[in-house]
A = this chain, B = another copy of it.
Amino acid sequence: MQVKDLGEFPLIDRIKKRIRTTPALVKGIGDDCAVLKFTKDKYQLFTCDMLVSGVDFNPDEDPQLIGRKALAVSLSDIAACSGLPRHCLVSLGIPPKYPVAKIDAIYRGIIKLAGEYKVNIAGGDLSRAPSFFIDLSLIGEVEKDRLTLRTGAKPRDVIFVTGSLGGSLKGKHLKFTPRIKEARLLSRNFKVNSMIDISDGLSQDLGHILKASSVGATIYEGLIPQSPDCRSLKGALSDGEDFELLFTLSLAEANRLFSRRISGVTPIGFTTPAGSGLKLVRKNGRTETLKTFSGYTHF
């Protein structure tokens, strides 16, 4: 069997099943970050993301934006756990004929964004490689009582997203703002039951919350905020690379959020009991069942 026949998520499940861990690891494979024991009041967060030339970005793309994105996607993982980023390592696989000027520009992009988020570039590795790639690993931290995971959604939670969705490949995916500030504001002021970042499309990433939390969900076409670059419901549901936050609050907490007039977050539906699946209520009032794993996969 080849990897493309098995698929990305079954491959991750297959790996996950074989791994045994110690209590020092609070949360392993299966969330936006690994969660590690740290201090009395805090957990440490640990995440990594790869960008492969020709797969995750066009080789002709502005290299400064590629560098920026390499860090931004990991910042988005830290945001999904409501944490603050601290230190990163940068691994580059580089073809020997790659221009030094492009490496310079890639690092300009990483360094600039790292500065904005007070992240230390602590080291890394360089290797010759047949085609270019970046893998960036990032350590962050979060107060124990503010950690947000994919697990924790309860039936009748209100589902929210930050920003707007879809059409990100037209440009936003290279320039998005990791939602650290928003996640910190939410986790400081509200009890957030579950959170994930939308990297593979709303339906797929909501699917991760539903699976991890054993709930269903109903969302409303008319409520889903579509990006200007997105001109279809399908795009908002499954384009991916939005890097917005998707989170759930109990109804009482949601009402508190509404009363506080928090801007930039939109309720799109609510969670339902386990086994209800993912339902979409169309603008015409009809209800459809969505496949939860219909977004981007690598294989």
A residues at B contact (CB < 8 Å): 1-6, 8, 11-12, 14-15, 18-22, 24-25, 28-31, 33-34, 36, 39, 46-52, 54-56, 86-87, 89, 91, 93-101, 103-104, 107-108, 111, 115, 118, 120-131, 133, 135, 137, 139, 298-299
A128, B298: Cα distance in complex, Å: 5
Contact call B36/A139, Cβ cutoff below 8 A? yes
Contact call B4/A50, Cβ cutoff below 8 A? no
Contact partners of A51 in chain B: CB under 8 A: 127
Contact call A94/B126, Cβ cutoff below 8 A? no
Contact A34 B2, CB 8 Å, known A48-B89, A50-B127, A298-B128: no
Contact call B118/A47, Cβ cutoff below 8 A? no
A101, B6: Cα distance in complex, Å: 11
Q: How far is the CB of A1 from chain B (nearest CB, A)?
A: 5
Contact call A19/B111, Cβ cutoff below 8 A? yes
Protomer copies: 2
Which residue of the partner chain, among B30, B103, B122, contacts A46 with CB atoms under 8 Å?
B122
Known: A28-B120, A52-B93, A130-B131. 20 other contacts (CB 8 A): A2-B98, A2-B100, A3-B95, A12-B126, A15-B103, A18-B111, A20-B115, A22-B118, A24-B86, A28-B123, A30-B123, A33-B123, A48-B125, A50-B125, A51-B127, A55-B130, A56-B127, A89-B137, A93-B133, A139-B139
Contact partners of A49 in chain B: CB under 8 A: 91, 125
Contact A34 B123, CB 8 Å, known A47-B89, A94-B3, A103-B11: yes
A103, B10: Cα distance in complex, Å: 13
Closest to A299 in B: B96
Contact call A122/B34, Cβ cutoff below 8 A? yes
Contact partners of A25 in chain B: CB under 8 A: 87, 120, 122
Contact call A89/B34, Cβ cutoff below 8 A? yes
Closest to A94 in B: B3
Closest to A131 in B: B130
Q: How far is the CB of A109 from chain B (nearest CB, A)?
A: 12
A210, B87: Cα distance in complex, Å: 28
Contact call A130/B54, Cβ cutoff below 8 A? yes
